[in-house]
Amino acid sequence: MVKTPIITPAVIFVMAVALVLAGPLSVTTTVGATPVAGSQSLSVTENVDVWDRSPLTLRTTSEGPTTIVAPRTFLNVESAATGDLPLNKRTMTIHERNESINMSFEPRIGAGTRALAGDEAQLLAVKLDEAPTTAETNASNISRASLEDVFANNSDTTSSELLDDAEDVGTIDEDGELQASYTPESGGAYGFVLVTVDEGDEGLSVSDGNVSVNGNVTVVGVEQAVVQDNVSNVERTQNPVNPGDNVTLAVDTEMEDENATHAVLLVRQGVLQRQSSTVTVSGELNESFSADQITVENSFDNISGVGTVESNTGLGSFTLSENQSIPAIGLQGLFGTVVSEAESDASGDVIHASATIVSGDADANVTVQTLDSWPNGAYQYVHVAVGNETGTLNSDTGTVAVSPGGGPDNGGGPGNGGGPPDNAGGPSDAGDDDEEDGE
């Protein structure tokens, strides 16, 4: 690979942009995406390079107890003439501690991986030491522990565990693919960094949670996941409800002796999977790069619903008033979009959704509003509770029926809130563009 050293903060910021875009799991399909021209890697430290397509290649494939389908999401970096590249993230899931998180590294549109066949690989599992907030339930906040922090052993932010030959993470096969799994022992926000080891080098090693690099490695895949400590038990106090009525959820968590922040999203079932978000990065990626170069275009016009945020309560470090145009993907994106853009008189192509964020007892009744104009049907609710002191994370999902005048219980869907639709991600986005890349 051709190495192009650039300013490290710019590298980390670009990687963070890619990581913050979506929650993990599954893939999506698009046509006409233009492969990235040329194979390049960016220098993070003296011994660590990052392949510029690493945000596209590694994905979790396990389903978790809490799942919600997100809009299709595309990334367009104008200076690299990428066209609209799918991020291959259709489903946001919260995983369970002590359950395996399966991952797949493989060719994707815009990221051919067959040139890596035969390369020795290692997988670094990174857990944020800082207690997760509701901002991190989008399963994508490894950006808070940037790659630079990981390899510099910033113990205030991360702890790390290495998976290699002993854990069946070995050589990338002849098709440019590799399968791996990791079993988290505790809840929290996790990041996964897949590296290839230059010939003759030992690569990464971890001692007491600290990462060392012997020789040179290249990051070829990055992914992230949120893991819960326990399932929250959520009961609907009424079902169905009339359009315009409040939906009250009686929440029972496994937390003891602490308060919690509760976030509840209520969205018409099936509507998100028909939407899309395109993130465009304009201008040059250099030391002058700024957030003003990032724009997001959503396929929908408005949110028809009600966003309720209790005073002095928010999505962690996420400032709603300053993030109007984030993509509606992952729980942070979905909550932020609904809370900041929900309108009672919204028109056009709208998403019917409401959200509530409150802080209080770990066991509480949480109310989310509906509108008179909402159509009949099943609405999925997603509840996330984060302990204010320990960062313990609980979640649950289910459905409630909106039906004028009562009517039958048409909440519908499986017990896990309807789950993802059949083949939510569509066929694999595998697309080996090695010939176009000149690899």
Give residue-wise pLDDT tens across range 166-193.
888 989 999 999 999 999 998 888 889 9
**Do 40 and 203 meet the contact criterion of CB atoms below 8 Å apart?**
no
Would you state the pLDDT for residue 100? 95
How would you classify the pairing of strands 302-304 and 307-309? unpaired
Would you state the pLDDT for residue 405? 66
Grouping H, G, I as helix, E, B as strand and the rest as coil, residue 160 is: strand
Lowest mean pLDDT among 16-20, 28-32, 35-39, 350-354: 28-32
Location of structure tokens 């012997």: 214
- Minimal CA–CA distance to 352: which of 336, 369, 366? 369
- Residue 151, φ and ψ in degrees, nearest 5: -80, -10
- Minimal CA–CA distance to 52: which of 283, 282, 219? 219
Look at residue 254 and tell me whether its pLDDT is greater than 70.
yes
The CATH code for residues 230-275+300-402 is 2.60.40.1940
Look at residue 212 and tell me whether its pLDDT is greater than 50.
yes
What are 48-99's pLDDT values in tens digits? 888 878 888 999 999 888 888 888 888 888 877 888 888 887 788 889 999 9
Token pair, residue 75, equals 């990334």
Look at residue 316 and tell me whether its pLDDT is greater than 60.
no
What are 261-297's pLDDT values in tens digits? 898 999 999 888 888 888 888 887 666 767 678 788 8
Would you state the pLDDT for residue 182? 95
Would you state the pLDDT for residue 20? 35
**Do 232 and 94 meet the contact criterion of CB atoms below 8 Å apart?**
no
CA 71-391-147 angle, to 5 degrees, is 65
* AA identity, residue 352: H
With cut-offs at 50, 70 and 90, classify the pLDDT of residue 332.
low
In angstroms, the Cα distances linking 46 to 3, 140, 196, 213 are 12, 26, 15, 10
Spell out the domain ranges in the chain: 11-24+36-62+100-228, 230-275+300-402
Average pLDDT, the chain: 74
- Minimal CA–CA distance to 163: which of 129, 134, 122? 122
